[in-house]
Amino acid sequence: MSAIYPGEAGPSRLLRDIASSCEETHGARRPRSRYRVRRPSTALVYSRADAKRLDHIRAHPQIALHLDGDGQGGDIVVLTGEAEIDPDEPPAHKNAPYIAKYGELIRSGWPTAEEFASIYSVPIRIRARRVRGH
């Protein structure tokens, strides 16, 4: 997944290699803000061990993930795909690429990255299949 930069148009915030599609409605093809991922694209998130989402992922790995918009109804991004608990990933505080990307945000909300990792201890790998946004 590409870095998420505030202010960029919806799907371009997420994926560089996407292709738009058209949807047929009543015999006419119309453009729609739907994108298909050309090659596998993944994201890693960490969850609390007591989160109900873990039971849902185990039972039904198909997910829809909504990213926060710009607060005015724009820059909306929803991706769909599959999620799985990934026990091969290191804890967040020992995951150098994760800390490089999110370390400042983590330090702004928790005393240490180790404390964050003790709370958000379950790694979840998300494989994006489709992205919608505007």
- Top pLDDT among 39 and 16 is at 39
Instruction: Out of 6-10, 28-32, 55-59, give the one with best mean pLDDT.
Output: 55-59
pLDDT confidence tier of residue 15, bands split at 50, 70 and 90: very low
- Top pLDDT among 30 and 104 is at 104
pLDDT confidence tier of residue 35, bands split at 50, 70 and 90: very low
Residue 38's pLDDT is 53
Of 13-17, 49-53, 79-83, 118-122, where does mean pLDDT reach its minimum? Answer: 13-17
67-95 burial string, b = 16+ CB within 10 Å, else e? eeeeeeeebbbbbbbebeeeeebebbbeb
Rounded to whole angstroms, the Cα distance separating 83 from 67 reads: 16
Instruction: Out of 10-19, 28-37, 44-53, give the one with best mean pLDDT.
Output: 44-53
Helix ranges (H only) for the chain are 52-59, 96-109, 113-119
Question: Is the model's pLDDT at 70 over the cut of 60?
Answer: yes
Architecture of domain 11-133: Roll (2.30)
